[in-house]
Amino acid sequence: MSLRVKPFLGGFLAVFVLVLAVRSEAFFVDEKKTFAFKAKVQTRTSLRLQDAEGWTYPGNIYVGNLVQWRNLALLELDHDLKELTKSLDILYPLKALKIQSKYHLVGRFMYEGVYDVGPQAFQDIKDRDKENIDSFTHQYDLWEFYVDLSRGPAFLRIGRQNLAWGETDIFRLLDGINPLDNTFGGPFEDLDDRRIPLWMLRGNYNFGDVGPLYSFTLEGFWVPGSWDARVAPFAPLGSVYSAPLPETFFPFVRVVTPDKSLSNSRWGVRLMGLVGTNVNVSIAHYKSFLDAPALRSVVVRDVPVLTDLNDLTLEVSYPDVQVTGASMSFWESRTDIVFRGEVAMFWDEPVFVPEESLGTLYGPTLPLPPLVLDLAAEMLGVDVRDLGLDGLPLNPQSGTIPKKNILRFVIGLDKQIWIRPLNKTSTFFLSMQYFGTWVTDYDGRMRQLAPLYPTLINFPKVMETEHVFTALISTLYRKGTISPQVALAYDVRGAWLIMPAVNFTKGPFRFMLQYSAIQGNFTGFGAFRDRDQISFSLTYLLN
């Protein structure tokens, strides 16, 4: 056990014991029930059910290998300040202005053990990239901390928080404000488990009934870039859920995240309300950073001929994107279905066009005879012919980040349905969605960002329109103690995702068993088709 693990485990246990000690108390700490304390500890283990294939690195991960041992402790405090406001002088302004206030705090302790106790291949990855791996495998965070202030129709929430807009599940359209942690779980983990809170100022104002609109509300948020310009962390190459990229690229990758400056602020505005008391509508516009980074080749110094690979990097960056969209939902009485819809235009979204993004490799070259190229490959460790070159780039130029306006939309329906032969006491919840994507100014050279094995520069095509269907069905048995569910996704270009799971409840314990599998073509989520796994988690709720 590494030295770094011990203090963590010690701290973890101390917290665990402390919280156990208070478990016998009411979960409200004070008599007036203004101060609530909750906690849970969880361990989750996943075993791979498929051998690594293609460009997945490391390639020596096999069926039965441990790929996740994630341990989590969450401590949550909620404190309504209404009683303190009456007695504490420092809070007098709140009392005088009749402002209701409370705060919410979440401490998160996370340890991912697969790089310490998992297959040797992952331990080797950690040895090679210790700082990077440690940064996301040992985390002690003030995960959420915000203060709520409200008075009448006005509400303000200030602090580290999550904010989700829109009407979608599983995949995100208008729900792109907070970044997702891509260092674990990949497509097999719940969105909320991966959402990263941001330091944000958020508020809304309820205008009430205005014309045909009821509960008409204006909402806005601002994440000052000088405070928080966090983006979705780039899963280090070789980590369990990293994208399948060739090892050849590793030495060249340089991740550039937005710097902390006001120009990198996220912000957004939304109007929402009810039309005719049945139809929820909203329109929104926001600026944020997408989870999927942009890639381009960068020549770090002006040279007439690219002879030194140290002059070339692959820059992973996160340009900001503005999104305009609308959503609606309503319940249709005859069919007893809740219909949802959402449409969003992603303006100037970075896309990958090899000829532009990796422009360095597509310019003029100094042709070399095969013998020389063989020698160069030996010396450089990279055969430029694998990159589509017949020589060395002349007057090499950096690539660019092409951008497109991409329209995404979803139509969803939710229905609770009785299937009495299967369950006499609880309905089945069925949720289905169709996601569509249309690149309005389509370029036939657009590609996905992971090359097709065994080539280095042959990337799957991106179509002008893409279509994905999802479905989720769940129910409850035995007085809510057993909850099975199945989630499905289908990309019409030939990729399937299936995730059956069952949750058991026994007293303060929660057990979860989940099988996750992706089959089919190397497209979209199909890029993770060799990551099938079975997961088991045990959670203890302290209250």
Partner 1 sequence: MNPRRCFQVPLVTLFLLVCACPLASADVSPGDIVDKTSWKKAEKLLPESVLNWVKKGDMVLRVGRLAYDPKDYFPPAARASLEPNRGKYDLDPNNLVIDAETGKPPEFIEGIPFPDIEPKDPKAAEKIMYDRMYYTYTQGNIRLPYDAAWVSRNTGYDRDVQCAFLQYPLTGYGPARNESNKPGIERFSILQLLAPFDIAGTNVLLWRFLDQRKDNTFAYIPAIRRVRRMSPANRSDAYIGSDLCVDDAWAFDGKVTDFEWKVLRKQEGLVGFLDPAPQAFEKNESGEWHTTRGIRAVAYGHHKEGWQGAPWVPTNLVWVKRPIYVLSLTPKDPYYNYGVQEIWVDAEVPFMLIYKAINDRAGDYWKTLWMSFSGFMSADDRMRLLMVTSIVVTDDRTDHSTVVDLANPNNLQAVYAVQDRNDYSLGGFQKLCK
- Of 202 and 404, the one with the shorter C-beta distance to partner 1 is 202
Q: Does 25 bind partner 1 (CB under 8 A)?
A: no
- 395 vs 423 by CB, closer to partner 1: 423
Collapsing DSSP to helix, strand or coil, 128 comes out as: helix
Residue 272 tokens read as 């929402």
Q: Please name the residue ranges forming H helices in 24-119.
A: 82-87, 92-96, 114-117
427 binds partner 1 (CB under 8 A): yes
Q: Does 189 bind partner 1 (CB under 8 A)?
A: no
* Residue with smaller CB distance to partner 1, 109 or 352: 109
Binding partner 1 by CB under 8 A: which of 44, 70, 79, 104?
104
- Binding segment (CB under 8 A) for partner 1, from list 65-73, 188-196, 310-318, 355-363: 188-196
Distance of alpha carbon 36 from alpha carbon 161, whole angstroms? 18
Sole residue written with tokens 């203060």: 147
Interface residue with partner 1, options 337, 462, 487, 527 (CB under 8 A): 337
Distance between CA atoms of 80 and 70, rounded to whole angstroms?
32
Q: Which is nearer to partner 1, 278 or 458 (CB)?
A: 278
Residue 157: which of 103, 197, 207, 108 has the closest Cα?
103
Closest distance to partner 1 from the beta carbon of 169 (Å): 6
Q: Please give the residues from 291 up to 330 whose contact with partner 1 meets the rule CB under 8 A.
A: 329-330
191 sits near partner 1 (criterion: CB under 8 A): yes
Taking CB under 8 A as the criterion, which residues in 357-416 touch partner 1?
A: 414-416
Rounded to the nearest 10°, the torsion over CA 87, 89, 94, 98 is 50
Q: What 3 state SS string does 433-496 have?
A: EEEEEEECCCCCCCECCCCCCCCCCCCCECCCEEEEEEEEEECCECCCCEEEEEEEEEECCCEE
Q: Which of 247, 336, 374, 464 binds partner 1 (CB under 8 A)?
A: 336
Among 9, 91, 256, 274, binds partner 1 (CB under 8 A): 274
Binding residue for partner 1 (CB under 8 A) from 425, 440, 455, 519? 425
Indicate the residue among 164 and 513 with the shorter CB distance to partner 1.
164
Considering only 62, 92, 418, 469, the residue that binds partner 1 (CB under 8 A) is 418
Which residue in 85, 217, 535, 537 binds partner 1 (CB under 8 A)?
217
Give the residue, chosen from 29, 77, 338, 430, that forms a contact with partner 1 under the rule CB under 8 A: 338
Q: Name the residue among 444, 347, 485 with its Cα closest to residue 404.
A: 347
Q: Say if residues 148 and 157 touch (Cβ distance below 8 Å).
A: yes
**100 contributes a contact to partner 1 by CB under 8 A:** yes
301 versus 424: smaller Cβ distance to partner 1: 424
Structure tokens given for 462 = 């991106």
Binding string, 53-92, against partner 1, x = CB under 8 A?
A: ---------------------x-x----------------
CA distance 151 to 94: 10
Residues in contact with partner 1, total (CB under 8 A)?
A: 77
Q: What are phi and psi of 408, to 5 degrees?
A: -120, 145
Helix (H) or strand (E) holding 215: strand 213-223
CB-nearer residue toward partner 1: 86 or 467 = 86
CA distance 524 to 515: 20
Q: Does 260 bind partner 1 (CB under 8 A)?
A: no
Q: Least distance in Å: CB of 391 to partner 1?
A: 53
> Does residue 342 bind partner 1 (CB under 8 A)?
no
Q: Burial letters for 103-114: b for 16+ Cβ neighbours within 10 Å, e otherwise?
A: bbbbbbbbbbbb
